[in-house]
Amino acid sequence: MSTKLIELGPHQLALEEPMYFRVKLEGDRVADLDVLPGQVHRGMEHLVMRRNFYQNITLLERLCSLCSNSHPSTFCAAVEEVAGITIPERAEYLRAVADEIKRIASHLFCCAVQANVIGETALFRRVMEVREIMQRAKEAIYGNRMDLAANVIGGVRYDLSVEGAAYLARQMEAMKQPLDELYLQYSNNPALLVRMAGVGVLPRAAAREYAVVGPVARGCGIDYDVRKKSPYGAYDRLEFEVAVQEGGDVRARNLVRLAEARQSVSLIEQCLAQLPAGPLCADTLPEIPAGEAIAKSEAPRGELMYYLRTDGSDMPVRLKWRVPSYMNWDALKVMLKGEPVANIPLIVNSIDPCIACTDR
């Protein structure tokens, strides 16, 4: 059998961001893989040490588009932990609303892209059409379709008026039936099953070994969701079940995402129902003392972790974060092994990779 080494770039991988793969082929099957990141390395961790805490909220929101709310909210949580700031209850709920809106839009984008990769153009359009309900909700509430600018140290900087909450509730109602329909499609549609079921399998033992997180882990039967394991914000008062699938394949990962999107609708509804009155932000903020803190959240792609170290000045001594995609890339070695070349773009997109986040 002939052995060949090929290089794949973002165009061949159907990615909208640059990532390169060096793939070793045996015949037309993948034998090994080397991931070559760094094409959009911007030295962000270097930059954040030269910006004050407020500037960093804005900068971190621009780290990544699809999980743009998770970064500033987790960073703010780290600052609040160092300074002992308790955020108002209303702000906890509003942070959860922003996070869940972004989660639905992010998950649907991932499912849509995969439909496109396998040539299911009509489905791609349908998923993007459903996602558009979320995009418009973001536009109406936050004034922007991607970066919500919702967070500030000590709380949030947006509010939901009675009309705003009613509008969001209507949008959530409009999401239910399409999301249920999409779940059935990704679960049972024969055209999708033939491309996604049993493809790009990551066994549970390998998932543990590679320490993957988020829908990639939950698609392998690993019941881990930061919102449950390390509750933060309003999540200790919200009801939801961790979406878990056993297959470990492309289909399982998508079913986890679609189940989560549907649960996010319910989480937003719960937030709207429970939303307490009160301030949006702690009224006086203390000086940020010297210290260190860890903050974690469940971003759309999984566990996001921040470490902050301060020295009493208004700039971090060190701010480090590890995004969920970071480990998921390496696990592609297992998912791609033995797969035909034609399946590479689909499997790569099935981990919902984020390159801007990975490279920083």
Partner 1 sequence: MSDCINLTSEIRERGPGGGGRDGFEACVAAALVCAAGEETEVLWCQDRKGVLTGWCRLPSGGSLLPAARAVAELDGRLAMVTAYLPERAREKGEREIAYHFDLDGATLTLTVILPLQWARVPSLTAIFRNCDWQERELMELYDVQVVGHPDPRRLFLDHSLPHAPFERLVPYSTFTNAATGKVLWDKVLAGEREEP
Residues in contact with partner 1 by the rule CB under 8 A: 7, 9, 18, 20, 36-43, 45-47, 81, 86, 208-211, 226, 228-232, 236, 290, 292-294, 296, 303, 305, 307, 309, 311, 317-318, 320-322, 326-327, 329-330, 359-360
Please give the single-letter amino acid code of residue 228.
K
- Do 106 and 300 form a contact (C-beta atoms < 8 A)? yes
C-beta of 76 vs 258, nearer to partner 1: 76
Please give the single-letter amino acid code of residue 186.
Y
CA–chain centroid gap for 169, Å, is 23
Euclidean distance between CA atoms 330 and 335, whole angstroms: 10
CB of 348 to partner 1, least distance (A): 17
Neighbours of 194 (CB within 10 A): 11
CB of 71 to partner 1, least distance (A): 15
Q: CA gyration radius for the chain?
A: 20
C-beta of 262 vs 296, nearer to partner 1: 296
CB of 32 to partner 1, least distance (A): 13
CB of 98 to partner 1, least distance (A): 19
- Do 103 and 264 form a contact (C-beta atoms < 8 A)? yes
C-beta of 124 vs 326, nearer to partner 1: 326
Query: Tell me, what DSSP letter sits at residue 296?
Result: E
CB of 288 to partner 1, least distance (A): 14
Q: Looking at the DSSP assignment, which residues form a beta bridge with residue 151? A: 156
CB of 236 to partner 1, least distance (A): 5
C-beta of 40 vs 281, nearer to partner 1: 40
C-beta of 7 vs 246, nearer to partner 1: 7
Residues contacting residue 299 through CB under 8 Å, at least 6 positions apart: 67, 70, 71, 74, 214, 323, 324
C-beta of 301 vs 360, nearer to partner 1: 360
